[in-house]
Amino acid sequence: MKKTGYMLKASMVFALAALVGCGGGKKDATEEESTQTGDEIVLSDAEMEKASSIYFNTCAGCHGTLRLGATGPHLLPEAPEGATAPGTRQLGTAGITAFIMNGTPGGMPDWGKQGVLNDEEINLLARFLQNDPPPIPPFTIDDMRARWKVLIPVEDRPTKPQHDKNWQNFFGVILRDAGQVAIIDGDTKEKISIVKTGFAVHILRSSASGRYFYSIGRDGKVTLIDTWMETPGMVAEGKASFDARSVEVSKYKGPLGDFRDKYLIVGGYTPSHYVVMDALTLEPLKVVNTSGKMLGDGEFLEEARVAAIVSSHKDPLWIVNVKETGMVWLVDYSDLDKIEENTTQIPTAQFLHDGGWDVTGQYFLVAANASNKMVVIDVTNKKLETIIETGIKPHPGRGANVNNSQYGNLWVTGHLGENKITFICTTPGENQWKVVKELELPGSGGGNLFVKTHPKSKYLWADRPLNNDEALAKSVFVIDKESLEVIKTFEAPEKYKGRAVHMEYNKAGDEVWVCIWGVMDKPEENAILVYDDKSLTLKEEITGDWVVTPTGKFNVYNTMNDIY
C-alpha cells in the first residue's frame, strides 16, 4: 500500500494523526511488523497509523506536530543545532520508553504508570519517534465550508429559555475521551444533557450573552451549544483545522458598534492559523496564517500555533498568542475586510501558552512557559508592559485574581516544572509587576495545571494532576488569600483512581467543582466532586456511567464575565 493511500483511508477524527505519521520512514513498509536496517526503524502502515494516533492524543500538544518542541523538548531523530535534549535515535527505544513509562518531575506525565498507555503502545511510540515527521498539510476555507453544518437555523431557535432552570449557573463539563460535553444544573447537580462534540475538547467558552457554549476539540472541531433549548444541544458545528486549542467570541459594545456574539475566532494548532466564523452559525468567514518570524525578526517558523485567545470587553480586540514565534497579536475585528492590516503584533517571549486578564481588564498576562516567563500586555495602549521571570514552566490556565490587604491586587500562576505558586502584584506602585510571594505546595515536584478563585471567596485553589506521585496527583490544595499559605489539602476518596484536575466555582462563589479524571473504561473511578467553599468540606459527588474522563468544567456566568 502506498502512503498516499494510507492518508486517504484515515478516519476524520484522527486525520491529523494519520498525516503526522505518513512518510516517517525512508521507504514503504507493507509488512505487518516493523523492521530495522542499521539506524533506521521502518514501521508498517498499520503500526504507523496506530502510533500516529497515540502521538496526536498524548504528545503533540506539548512537543508540536513537527516535534520541534514547545512546552516539552523536541522529539526529532537528530537533535537540532543548539538543542539541549538529545535526538530520539540517540536515546534509543529503551531511553524513550523510560520517559514515557515514568514521566519526569518537570511535568512530563507518567503515561505508563498511570495505565494510559500499555507496554505495547509505549514500545510502538518509542520506535515511531525515531522516524522523521512529515510536512504539515493545508486545511483551507473550502475544506472548512465542506464540513460546516447548521443543524438548527437561527430563526428556528427559541427566543427565550424553554425551561425554568437557572441557566446562568449551568456547568459545561468536558468528558474528554468520550468526545462529549455534559450540561449540568449547578443548582440541583443533575445532568441535563450530553452533547456529542469533537475529540478531546480542550475548552468551552460562553457567548457574550451567556446563552451559548462554544467547544473546541483536539480535532479542530468547534460546536455551538444552545443552553436555552428545552434539552440543551448542538445547533451548529464546524471544523477549523486538524488540531486546535482555543476559541473565543466577540464581546465589545461601544462607540464602534455592537459586536457582542457577532464573530467567533478559532485558533489552529495545525495548520498554524486563526479562523473567524459567524458566531451564531459557525460559517467560516476569514482565515489568517500565523506562520512568521520568531520574535518578529528571527528565524521563520512554519509551525506557529495559536495558543490562548481572550476577548476584550473594552475594545473590539481579540488577544491572540502565537506560541512558537512569541508574538502577541491584538486582532481588531471592527472591520473584517481590514483585519490583517489593523492587527498589532507585539514581540514578547517564545512558547506562549495560556493566561488571563488582571482584575482591571487592562492587562493580559500570559505564560511563555518553556522560557520560564510571564508576559504582561497593556491591551489598552497596545504595547508590551513587562516580562517577569518566574518558575519552571508556568501554567496558569486563565490565572487567578486575588485581593490581599498587604499587597493589593495579585495575579497568580502555578507551574508545571516545579513546586511553586507565584503571586504577582498588579496594583500600581512600587510593587507592580513584582513577584511578592512564592509558595510551595505540600510534597515535592511540580505538575500544577490550574489555580482558581472567586471574588466572593476567601480562598484560592490549586491542583497538581501532572505530578508523578499518585497521592499528590489526586489532591487539591486550598490557600488562604490573606496569609497566602496552604490551609487544607483534599485528597480524592480512595475509590476514585483518577487525577484531580481543574477547579471551577459556581455563580454564587460558594462551591468549587473538581474533576477526578480517570480512565475511559472504568467510569466508577471517575467523578465530579463538589466542595463547600465556606466550610471547606466535600459536599457532593457526581457520578454515573456517563461520567467518563471529566476534565475542564465551565460555569456559564463566570465564563461569560471572565471571573477567575
The pairing of beta strand 344-347 with beta strand 475-480 = unpaired
Q: Which residue is listed with cell 482558581? A: 452
Q: Which residues of 44-82 are buried (b: 16+ CB within 10 A; e: fewer)?
A: bbebbbbbbbbbbbbbbbbbbbbbbbbbbbbbbbebeee
Residue 353, C-alpha cell as written in the block: 501558552
Q: Which residue is listed with cell 490583517? A: 340
Can you list the positions of beta strands (E) in 73-190? 149-150, 170-175, 180-185
The single residue of 108, 374, 425, 560 carrying the catalytic annotation is 108
353 is catalytic: yes
Amino acid symbol at 218:
R
Phi then psi dihedrals of residue 478, to 5 deg: -105, 125
The single residue of 22, 63, 327, 415 carrying the catalytic annotation is 63
108 is catalytic: yes
The single residue of 59, 144, 234, 277 carrying the catalytic annotation is 59
**Packing angle between helix 119-128 and helix 88-102, nearest 10 degrees?**
150
The single residue of 202, 353, 454, 502 carrying the catalytic annotation is 353
The single residue of 395, 415, 454, 502 carrying the catalytic annotation is 395
Can you list the positions of beta strands (E) in 250-305? 253-254, 257-258, 263-270, 273-278, 284-289, 292-293, 300-301
Q: Angle 333-337-341 (CA atoms, 0-180°, nearest 5)?
A: 75
Phi then psi dihedrals of residue 244, to 5 deg: -155, 165
SS3 285: strand
Q: To 10 degrees, the CA torsion angle through 509, 512, 513, 514?
A: 150
Q: Which residues of 374-386 are buried (b: 16+ CB within 10 A; e: fewer)?
A: bbbbebeeeeebe
User: Cis peptide before 284, with omega less than 30 degrees from 0?
Assistant: no
Phi then psi dihedrals of residue 436, to 5 deg: -100, -10
Amino acid symbol at 99:
F
For residue 407, the number of C-alpha atoms closer than 13 Å in the C-beta half-sphere is 23
Gap between the terminal Cα atoms of the chain = 52
Distance CA(405)–CA(426), nearest Å, equals 13
**What does the radius of gyration of the chain's CA atoms come to, in whole angstroms?**
22
Q: Evaluate whether 276 touches 263 at the Cβ level (below 8 Å).
A: yes
DSSP string, 375-436: EEEETTTTEEEEEEE-SSSB--TT-EEEEETTTEEEEEE-BSSSS-EEEEE-SSSTTTT-EE
Residue 426, C-alpha cell as written in the block: 498588579
The single residue of 22, 48, 62, 229 carrying the catalytic annotation is 62
Q: Which residues are catalytically annotated?
A: 59, 62-63, 108, 353, 395
